[in-house]
Amino acid sequence: MRHLPAMVAGTTLLAAGAAVLLDHLGMPRDLVLAWLAVMIGFSGARLLLWHRYRHQPATADTAVRRARMLTLGSGLAGILWGAMAWFFFVPQDPLSIALVVAILCGLLSSSTHSIGAYWPAHAAFALPCILPFAARCLMEPTPSLRILGLLSLLYLVFTASFARAIPRTLETQLRLQLHNERLVQQLTRTRDDAMASERDKSRFLAAASHDLRQPLHAMGLFVPALQAQLESGQPSVRVMRLIVGRMKAVLVGVGHLLDLLLELSRLDAGTVETQRIPVHCGVALERACAAVRAQAEARGLRMRVVASEVWVRTDPDVLHTILLNLLSNAVRYTRKGGVLVTARQRADRVELAVWDSGIGIPATDLPRLFDAWFQAGNAGDDPSRLRGFGLGLAIVQRLADLLGTGVTVRSQLGRGSVFRFQLPVCDAPDPAPEALRPPLLAPGQCVLVVDDDEQILVGMGLLLESWGVRPLIARSLNEARIELVRSACAPSLVLLDHHLGQGTTPQTQVEQLRSWLAPGVPIAIITGDTSSDTMQQVASLDVQVWHKPVEPALLRGQLRHRSPPAE
């Protein structure tokens, strides 16, 4: 439609030229002028209609209306040009026949390119334009005119088939163009994601390096201070106790950071599996609060739990980690007041919430609050100086995704924050028989430790002996077999280093150990490797996976629930 003025102008000029030539060839002047007047009036009417509708918005209704107008206008134009061929057809005048043929062929060729993309408009123009001339030729007895009539019909068929192919070609081109645009957009998104991932990786490594260097720097100061006390003639017990306490706090901090890094790595690698079982809401909240209650009381904060007796279906360990991270943040960034943990049933779901009266979070920081290593701008304002690492909420968000829920946050500066998430309600489970409950006694146990690092073997041996547990120390699988035979002790637990080497895989090592041990003896693989390949490889071995550094509480808790197997 936007090319219509040019089409009308060309048609009008062509009609005027044709009229001059027809008059020169001796055609009836009145008839020629009448035909020309109708053609000019028709062209003017098309221009008026185009001017009227060109500013209408492009909608589905206006598109249909414009298509109908184009088809009707093309049909009327074809009739007018066909009338010229009918009324000014003189068989005895070859020059007039040649003029008509040239005009019609030019018009039909031009219309194929201008309106061929819309087949109804092209057909409405081509049929009344060519058929009158072909009919007049076929009606004449002269063979040459009949052949000319057949040729005009053949040309009509040729142009019609060409016009029919134009929409398909245009559709193919548009589809290809759209496909290319989608590919460009996809490549652009992929490039942007890769660049963002690279920036996040650089930021991640920089932050991790900083947070790991800080405690190492502190340890580098404490160790010489402790050494100086030991080498002095009169070491101060008070100073040494202070230094050892500080060193222990630094090690706890490093261990906590490594645990967070490990958890984040496992979540990003997709190796964390959930086991959803019925969990008592009140028990889960009390358990999480008990882990941070001493810290809250030391800061003079009140901690209160408002829970229901409802049961939820979830993974208890994942739920505990989520609550523990939220509660730790609440206690860390609350100066006065307290922390409230609630569980309210809403239809078939339970909404768990952690409220605090802390420093709050700036509104500008909320969109990035769950990004790894991100800390709110006012996190350093806490006078306790107990800043976190910026990983807890990132882990909370990923764990919530595993449970099929989301974490929402509302906060007001100086007033506090509240974090909420929901879990599905379920029926209470049947009580477990007393006989199925795990024993709590662990007298006379021994533990097989297989590691090629001398320092780890010595440290683990001293730790186990301090608990009254007999360590079986081995630097290789061959030594482990000899130690098992020599000691005549059936271990209740095996600690196996993941990177033992010696030309065997962890799978082979586990299979050999199980062939020497009593059925059901647990094997814990200890590793510092957090790559996704290693995670998936170890996860397929049906063993426990402990990540370095191993918390002594984890080992002691495992031994507390084990009884020595029968020999």
Rounded Cα–Cα distance for residues 61 and 138 (Å) = 43
Amino acid letter for position 168: R
DSSP 24-54: HTT--HHHHHHHHHHHHHHHHHHHHHHHHHT
Spatial neighbors of 237 by CB under 8 A, at least 6 apart, are none
Q: What are phi and psi of 40, to 5 degrees?
A: -65, -45
Q: Are residues 259 and 136 in the same domain?
A: no
Q: Are 70 and 111 in contact (CB under 8 A)?
A: no
Residue that finishes a domain, picked among 248, 269, 290: 269
Q: Are residues 366 and 461 in the same domain?
A: no
Tokens of residue 238, six digits: 């008070």
Q: Are residues 258 and 290 in the same domain?
A: no
Tally of domains within the chain: 4
Partners of 412 in the β-ladder: 416
Residue 163 lies in a domain: no
| CA distances to 139, 490, 495 from 456, in Å | 111, 22, 11
Rounded Cα–Cα distance for residues 35 and 16 (Å) = 10
Name the residue with tokens 């301090």.
466
SS (H, E, C) 63-87: HHHHHHHHHHHHHHHHHHHHHHHHH
Amino acid letter for position 408: T
Residue 162 lies in a domain: no
Look up the CATH number of the domain holding residue 362: 3.30.565.10
Spatial neighbors of 182 by CB under 8 A, at least 6 apart, are none
Residue that finishes a domain, picked among 426, 460, 486: 426
Residue 149 lies in a domain: no
pLDDT of 531: 66
Q: Enter the DSSP assignment of 520.
A: T
Residue 287 lies in a domain: yes
Helices 4-24 and 29-53, axial angle in degrees (round to 10) = 180
Q: Are residues 312 and 369 in the same domain?
A: yes
Q: Are residues 448 and 416 in the same domain?
A: no
Q: Are residues 281 and 411 in the same domain?
A: yes
Q: Are 561 and 293 in contact (CB under 8 A)?
A: no
Q: Are residues 441 and 305 in the same domain?
A: no
Q: Enter the DSSP assignment of 430.
A: P
Q: Are 400 and 315 in contact (CB under 8 A)?
A: no
Q: Are residues 395 and 368 in the same domain?
A: yes
Looking at 312-453, list the stretches that DSSP marks H as alpha helix, in order from N- to C-terminal side: 316-332, 392-402
pLDDT digits (tens), the chain, 567 positions: 556 777 778 888 888 888 898 888 888 999 989 999 998 988 888 888 877 777 767 677 777 887 888 888 888 989 999 999 899 888 888 888 998 899 888 888 888 877 878 888 888 989 999 999 999 999 989 899 999 999 999 999 988 888 888 888 888 888 899 999 999 999 988 888 788 767 766 665 665 565 566 667 777 888 888 888 888 877 888 888 888 888 887 776 666 666 666 666 666 666 667 788 998 888 888 888 888 888 888 888 998 888 778 899 998 888 988 898 899 888 888 888 999 999 998 889 999 999 999 888 888 888 877 776 666 655 555 544 445 556 778 888 888 888 888 899 999 888 899 999 999 999 888 654 433 333 333 456 889 999 888 888 888 888 888 888 888 998 888 888 888 888 878 888 899 888 776 567 888 888 888 888 888 888 888 887 766 666 667 777 778 888 777 777 777 777 765 544 444
Name the residue range of residue 346's domain. Answer: 277-426
Q: Are residues 422 and 326 in the same domain?
A: yes
Q: Are residues 447 and 479 in the same domain?
A: yes
Rounded Cα–Cα distance for residues 524 and 450 (Å) = 11
Q: Are residues 290 and 257 in the same domain?
A: no
pTM of the predicted model over 0.75: no
Partners of 77 in the β-ladder: none
Q: Are residues 417 and 448 in the same domain?
A: no
